[in-house]
Structure 1
Amino acid sequence: MPAKITTLTKTDLASYIELVRAGFGAELAARGTSIAGVARLARVLLSCRSLPLRTIELLTHRGLFILLAKEGGRAVGMLTVLKKSVPILIGAYVREEYRRSGVALALIDEALSRLKGLGYLRVQGAVFDHTAQLLVERAGFVPYDHIDLYQRSLPLGTGYPADGSVQRARRVDIPRHPYDLGPINALTGVRTRRLVVRSGQREALEAMLIALPHQRVGEVQLRIIPPASEGALHALLGAADGWFTKLGRTMISVSLHDDTQALASILIEEGFVKRHSWVQMAVDL
């Protein structure tokens, strides 16, 4: 019998947290994320028939829903769908004994069907290995970008020369983080900061700093404005170091896309280690 796909509700919360712990417990622990904190947040969002979640979507035009795959009443897989201008599929996990049984593809197909019904034209996702890539390609996804994640502990204690002034910015040409909900961040605990590094009279780098609640890692997303210097990156890292340390973060991560891979050698000099790589995929509905 094929798995039954349902939307996560408050009654499924214990089963969902069990899947989160089984699928992502080690990674969440490495990032200092509290699973108990995740459970508390989920409980709030799903309360009153998901009224908080629906209110956030009404105010920000961003939302989410989580699909559960059940067999015999047991939750055996899950997939999170972040709704925004281009939705993203994240957090996919299927229990090992149910893999190769079509559960993962059923979750993806259900997500795409619902999003198409809502009028979306394109969906994105990310895969961490070749097997997962082959799976989503069966659903029509094709690769469009590659990302490497570099990480190290804070404080940086960098002795490298900085070249440029770092300034706060209201806007940067970097896609918003999936959990950046603007004014609603005050309620969710998400902290963001947009920065521009200027070298002389010109902009050299743009960056988005993100600090998620219940997580000890501060995230950096950046965009090069050629020709950016090594000193501009050192200046940015110094500013990120100060802000994340003030927020109590003990680790920093930097995501490099295809167009920023030239900065990898500088990060390695600064003591960063590549922790993950993944492929960005997309499909037109």
Structure 2
Amino acid sequence: MPLVLTLDKSLSLLEAVVAHRDGIGTRALAQELDLNVATVHNIARTFCHRGYLRQDSGTKTFFPGMRLMLLGRQPSYLQSLAVSASPIIEKVAKKLNESVMLASIDHGHILNLKYVPSRQALRVHEADDISDHSYCTAVGKVLLASLSKPELEAYLRKTPLQHFTPHTLSTPEALKEELRKIAIQGYGETRDEAAEGVSAIAVPVRDPWNVIVAGIGASAPTVRLQDADHFETTLRELREAAALVEKQWTENRQPEGKGKGKTAPKAKAPSKTPAPQQAAA
């Protein structure tokens, strides 16, 4: 099938702008896309006119516009992620025999999209909305580490950092240092931070532009997760699961074993958060 070249170039430009979270200018776009500067300028300005991009008046760099963000946050995107990931989350939870959760951040809320509890007697319960205490959960830390500086500051302004245990990171400085560490090492962990005796590990899930859109976390009693071999096994399995979720979601394939035409379950909406002692991933 022949391509509409102008449309193809326009979409490539849009994707390139989204991939550069700190913005990108006309000449840098032209070089990256191997296009004429004038062509890039005209396409980008058209997107700005329609609201899909915006251009900083000082630096002249382009950023995603509100219309593009609203389009990208179309309500079904979380539903699509939850459906694609569901069999993968169930499989890794069964393999690890620990509680496993898929969570995403949406309009400031960190939502539990899929949760599979451990089959063991000693296990951890998870809330639907972990926003209020996400800073002391592994998956919450992974998602917070993905925020821009203004987004993180906004979160800290509206979220009191409560001191649940002696291990809770309850100051902005300590939390920011932890989030910088997570961004470098590629995973987050907690040890007795939300509740004594509960630990967790989490890894990010990225979209095709390498932007973190979700996290997969496994929580367990500290007595089990403090074992070095168990920790490494859990981290490896979570990373493999995250890679499968990324592939499954971006390829938009029907999950294995699921028939066509089945209605996708709705992503969970924010609800009142139970006591933090019950949540740790």
TM-score range, shorter chain: under 0.3
- TM score, norm. by length of structure 1: 0.24
More strand by share: 1
